């Protein structure tokens, strides 16, 4: 007996196909005579048929061999096999029809087969051959299926991606999934079936999870409604149901999707919002055909900006950073994704005024997006001189050089930590904001500042830290249970920087709508769940205490500021107080303190420039006026 797991010999497939052909021919004759043929009629028909039966088998054999029907693996029958069998069957029928005319007109006045028999034989032969192959395939898949504990799943998304996911799961013998149904946001699909599997509306998800003992939900929508996706993920977390997602078709291997590519849900899927609607016409009119400089180009925000700007066809894109390895990686990525982009990799330090002057002299950029900065609060608290050198002097160098070479626009990327700063890093960014704003009065260059909170997945942010800690088995460290932060994804932040930067007329500080603040400890708990672990059993959360300079809550506006809405619902203009000219003198004095390397003097001068800078949990609290 042939085993289903072994390859069936080719001659066996050929013999079976010939038997199917013989059955089809016999069945076609029975249908022709309404199953009531008497002996005399059979004898008459056989006398005609007997002269062509060998031709019938010979044609079948040759045509099927030419179309390589016997070479397909029956247990892996696909639509390509179906098409090949259809064409082979159709070809044999056409040949019989042509040979029938030759026999009728050149020999005995009889056709090879009656037309009705030819049509019926084609249909029966094609259907039986296909049916037998899919039957063997189904039997094979059933015999090799994993017989372990069955996992009951729902697929979120009843579109093309969801259907491909279903088919991929069903043919993967290594997994034992029972697909209970599809869930979709489209109300019109509720109550329908997709390849026999029922489709339910998303509103019934909670009921489905409970009543069907669902253990896994797979997100298979490529461009979901962010709010709906967030609700689905939150509900699954609440019901302790595992979640996975199907990657973008761009990452499918050779255009084909494998169950190995189904991955875990990211925390970004919980914090994402509606896609940002950009004024692409305005941005294109500002950037197309221009030379654009991005500082800190190899960083998270910088590289994100580079990829966004590349879409608007600048004349030349200048990528400035001092980190050579990340720049090299970005260079390779751009060559692959934007083969026609004219860009220049520049390894350099914004703290060197001479280097910046040579850069502007050589390339004369029209647009500057300034993303280079030191941003880690604890490190800058310990190294205030370096914070001043990069965040203040580096910004001053760029601002002064942009003015000297009459750049069209300068967009500075700031942070919510510049608002009522409690640490050196935030204060240094606020001083940089002040200098850029005052520069707006000195030349034709328009200086615009954008201010936003934490960026998900950026270098040094809490998300990669938590991911590493989870991978290492914990514990996850949280500084305080009360700490909250605003979060935004890298693409969101970069898109809003572009929108705000191009709409700015000069002198504005644009504030982004960051949504609701998130408790960091809640973020940690959800990341543990998304990793399939259990808090307290598999991994712990440890509260370590606030770090020097760290706030419990971040702000996007100081008390003296209020906002004015813009045409974009997620961008507001902050109305800030006008800074005195004396502050610019103080900024130069601050930079001059670098050589002394006296941290206390440096921080004291920063507090003089930014009176609202009140240190928190820091050795510099003694400098604050009581």
Q: Using alpha carbons only, give the angle 442, 447, 451 rounded to the nearest 5 degrees.
A: 145
Query: Which residue in the block uniquely carries the two structure tokens 């043919």?
Result: 171
Q: How far apart are CA 583 and CA 434, in angstroms?
A: 8
Cβ pair 57, 18 in contact under 8 A: yes
As a whole number of angstroms, the distance between CA 107 and CA 99 comes to: 11
Answer whether the bond into residue 475 is a cis peptide, omega within 30°: yes
d(C-alpha 324, C-alpha 610), whole Å = 34
Closest by alpha carbon to 81, among 138, 130, 120, 119? 130
Beta bridge partners of 446: 409
CB 129 within 8 A of CB 90: no
CA 49, CA 64: separation in Å to the nearest integer? 22
Angle, in degrees to the nearest 10, between helices 490-503 and 280-287: 70
Q: What are the φ/ψ torsions at residue 208 (nearest 5 degrees)?
A: -65, -40
Q: Is the dihedral of CA 579, 580, 582, 585 positive or negative?
A: positive
Which 3 state secondary structure label does DSSP give 393?
A: helix
The count of residues in the chain is 626
Do residues 347 and 324 lie in contact, with contact meaning Cβ atoms separated by under 8 Å?
A: yes
> Active-site residue 519, yes or no?
no
Candidates 242, 417, 438, 446; catalytic one: 417
DSSP symbols for 258-285: -GGG-EEPPTHHHH--SPP---HHHHHH
Return the sign of the alpha-carbon dihedral for residues 449, 325, 252, 201.
negative
Q: What angle do CA 487, 488, 494 make, to 5 degrees?
A: 150
Enumerate the active-site residues.
417
């Amino acid at each position: 007996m042939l085993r289903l797991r072994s390859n069936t010999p080719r001659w066996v497939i050929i013999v079976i196909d010939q038997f199917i052909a013989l059955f089809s021919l016999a069945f076609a004759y029975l249908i022709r005579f309404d199953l009531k043929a008497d002996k005399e009629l059979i004898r008459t028909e056989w006398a005609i048929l007997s002269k062509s039966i060998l031709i019938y088998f010979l044609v079948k054999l040759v045509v099927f061999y030419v179309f390589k029907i016997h070479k397909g693996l029956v247990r892996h029958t696909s639509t390509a096999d179906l098409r090949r069998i259809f064409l082979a069957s159709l070809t044999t029928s056409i040949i019989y029809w042509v040979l029938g005319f030759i026999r009728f007109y050149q020999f005995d006045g009889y056709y090879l087969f009656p037309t009705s028999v030819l049509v019926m034989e084609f249909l029966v032969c094609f259907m039986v051959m296909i049916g037998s192959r899919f039957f063997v395939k189904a039997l094979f898949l059933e015999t090799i299926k994993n017989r372990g504990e069955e996992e009951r799943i729902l697929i979120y998304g009843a579109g093309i991606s969801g259907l491909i996911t279903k088919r991929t799961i069903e043919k993967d013998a290594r997994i034992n999934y029972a697909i209970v149904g599809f869930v979709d946001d489209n109300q019109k699909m509720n109550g329908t079936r997709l390849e026999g599997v029922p489709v339910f509306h998303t509103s019934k998800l909670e009921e489905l999870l409970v009543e069907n003992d669902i253990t896994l939900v797979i997100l298979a929508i490529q461009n979901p409604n962010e709010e709906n996706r967030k609700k689905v993920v939150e509900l699954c977390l609440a019901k302790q149901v595992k979640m996975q997602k199907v990657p973008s078709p761009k990452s499918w291997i050779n255009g084909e999707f494998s169950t190995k590519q189904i991955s875990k849900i990211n925390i970004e899927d919980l914090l994402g919002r509606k896609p940002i609607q950009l004024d692409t016409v305005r941005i294109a009119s500002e950037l197309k055909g221009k030379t654009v400089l991005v500082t800190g180009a190899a960083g998270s925000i910088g590289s994100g900006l580079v990829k966004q700007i590349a879409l608007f066809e600048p004349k030349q894109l200048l990528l400035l950073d001092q980190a050579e390895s990340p720049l090299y990686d970005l260079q390779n990525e751009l060559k692959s994704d934007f083969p026609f982009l004219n860009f220049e990799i520049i390894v350099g330090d914004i703290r060197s005024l001479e280097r910046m002057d040579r850069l502007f002299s050589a390339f004369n950029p029209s647009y500057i997006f300034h993303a280079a900065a030191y941003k880690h609060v604890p490190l800058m608290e310990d190294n205030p001189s370096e914070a001043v050198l990069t965040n203040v002097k580096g910004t001053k160098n760029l601002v002064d050089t942009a003015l000297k070479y009459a750049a069209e626009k300068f967009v500075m990327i700031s942070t919510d930590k510049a608002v009522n700063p409690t640490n050196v890093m935030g204060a240094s960014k606020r001083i940089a904001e002040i200098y850029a704003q005052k520069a707006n009065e000195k030349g034709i260059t328009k200086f615009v500042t954008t201010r936003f909170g934490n960026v998900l997945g950026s270098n040094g942010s809490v998300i990669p830290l938590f991911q590493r800690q989870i991978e290492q088995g914990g514990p996850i460290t949280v500084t305080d249970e009360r700490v909250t932060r605003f979060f935004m994804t890298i693409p969101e932040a970069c898109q809003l920087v572009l929108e705000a930067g191009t709409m700015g007329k000069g002198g504005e500080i644009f504030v982004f709508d960051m949504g609701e603040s998130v408790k960091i400890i809640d973020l940690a708990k959800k990341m543990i769940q998304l990793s399939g672990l259990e808090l307290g059993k598999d991994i712990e959360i440890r509260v370590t205490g606030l770090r020097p300079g760290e706030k419990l809550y971040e702000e996007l506006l100081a008390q003296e500021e209020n906002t004015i809405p813009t045409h974009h619902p997620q961008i507001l203009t902050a109305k800030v107080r006008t800074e005195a000219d004396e502050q610019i003198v103080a900024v130069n004095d601050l930079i001059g303190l670098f050589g002394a390397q006296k941290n206390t003097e440096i921080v004291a001068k920063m507090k003089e420039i930014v009176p609202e800078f009140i240190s928190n949990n820091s050795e510099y609290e003694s400098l604050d006026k009581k």
